Amino acid sequence: MEADWLIHTPEWVKDAVFYQIFPDRFATSERLEKPSNLEPWDQPPTRHGFKGGDLWGVVERLDYLQDLGVTAIYFNPIFCSTANHRYHTHDYYHVDPLLGGDEAFAALLHAAHARSIRVVLDGVFNHASRGFFQFNHVLENGPSSPYRDWFIVRGFPLRAYSRKKKPRYETWWGLRALPKLNTDNPQVYEFLMKVAEYWLRQGIDGWRLDVPLEIRTPGFWAEFRQRVKAINPQAYIVAEIWDEATGWLHGEHFDALMNYVLNRACLGFFGGADLDTAWQPGGYLLEPLTGRQFATEIERLLALNHWEVTTAQMNLLSSHDMPRFLTLVNGNKRRLQLATLFQMTFPGAPCVYYGDEVGLEGAGDPDCRRGFPWEREKWDHDLRDWFQRCIRLRHAHPALRRGAFRTLVARKYVYVFSRSLGEETAIVALNAGKSRARVSVPLDRLASSPAALRDLFSGHSYPVQQGMIALNLPPLSGTVIA
């Protein structure tokens, strides 16, 4: 059992609402001159095409994000790269010129912080690219290159571009465009540590770590944490791991994970009969869950980690690595609304994938990375208003961010829970079924015993009778009562 004094996660994360931006697809600005041969913004994305999104465009849309209620941005990679997703890093010390370069990022960081919006960058430290200087040096000089040991080379020529023969160096998942960095080499190890430190000193608020478990060098992530926290003790370190990975969350490595386990549970319960189980995001099966099964999974997840970790988990419904939630539930907007209400009232930091709030759909990569539709007539305004209301509710009630969690009712299509902090208690009731649900909610397990409760959406008052309140929930609906 970990000692409580070891577990410290950033305080600001527990109150944050994140927004994930895929830079090439979120917004463009006329301030940045564009090269030719860009894909049309509103056409389906292709695997190698660029649409020309940039960081100046993000600067110009910060008011939009602030109005939505966003307090933190997680960016997919922004460093120099020849890939539209920029996971093929060429230069870790400079922002891609197609995004506006270092100048645009500095302006973005300043403008975001002026609005109290934090900025977390994607750290791709397991692998680089064929264009990374040190790898290019090995390509040009073969076994004579001083950088040979920066990679795990098995022979020459490297076959970095051969389509018929396997590469003679270790790659990420067999992709020859992604040479794996040899972190057992002290120079590589130190290079990556200094990259992390450099951007923290520029003012970023944390790192999202790409495939961190691919780095197996003993002590790497423990030292990474020490050096990051030495610069900014409140920096957020969140890891992309698709399962529970509890052994990495004891206060010595990562603050939290991208909570894909919760993501799958939400798809199962809120997706219900509309869930498209043909997809297997991250290689994991999707299956519908009843309210009881969902409650069992939620209680299991809440018991896995220290509360400090639970309240810092990055809770997502969609991401760049999976079909969007709305697509996975066959376009049923009310199921996304219900899941969003749960996401915004559950312990941890909710993260909205850009465009989900206006009804953007998308199947597997690259379709889940469409351009954001800035023409307002293309928005689902009811959906965006719902996102905004749920986010505002979270900001307005500390119990929904930091309060203790308790399951009150769990049955076939219904799930009801409470969040309690001090004198404040909020009850969240969710009906994922296609018919009306009448629910009696017991209040005897709550810290306080109010005489009446009020619906925070409608203002309707619910009298407490014999320690119960009676709810009549329409199909595919949810509410919060306090």
Q: Which residues are catalytic?
A: 210, 240
For β-strands 118-123 and 437-442, DSSP reports them as: unpaired
Q: What is the DSSP letter of 165?
A: S
**In one letter, which amino acid is 407?**
T
- DSSP percent split of the chain into helix, strand, coil, nearest 5: 35, 20, 40
Angle at CA 101, nearest 5°, toward 371 and 321?
40
d(CA 179, CA 188): 13
DSSP 394-409: HHH-HHHHH-EEEEEE
3-state secondary structure of 384: helix
Q: Is 209 left (phi over 0), alpha (psi -120 to 50) or beta?
A: beta
d(CA 206, CA 185): 25
| Alpha-carbon distance values, 482 to 199, 345, 349, 386, 440 (Å) | 42, 13, 21, 19, 16
3-state secondary structure of 178: strand
**Which of 238, 368, 262 is CA-nearest to residue 317?**
262
